[in-house]
Structure 1
């Protein structure tokens, strides 16, 4: 991938974008996200959910909200939308 993100990491960004998780008050539950991820990428040759999240956190695309159950939101909206758009995903405009 040209931006350094894999198909798995782009899938996570796309879910967060579709659900409009752009603020710390509107994070997406990690267990729900993990369930969707495992359904999409069940094989052993795929990047693990934990590794995909680590990549997005390290690159600054998402931020973790520490609660009883961890939540994630897109913290770098412009770069996330640019990466999704460059890889053929449809993104919503505006906040």
Structure 2
């Protein structure tokens, strides 16, 4: 069962990395450091959007409008961290 706990923590770490990469890429695209016309950048951006937009859209439907600010990634990261805390505090169930 310990391996199940470690696999769950690994999946949470990978999802956390995807969200952070998506946020950083969005900043770099908005500040015109990255160009979506470059094939590699466009493919990575499209892949991250396909993975994360279904999650973000559910969070956005619950959040009130914030005047152009998108807090969906922040709410999702807080939820991931809370899930990580719950799993860590209940790690004894996995041993």
Q: Using structure 1 for the length normalisation, give the TM-score.
A: 0.33
Q: Using structure 2 for the length normalisation, give the TM-score.
A: 0.33
Greater helix percent: which structure? 2
Greater strand percent: which structure? 1
Larger-Rg structure: 2
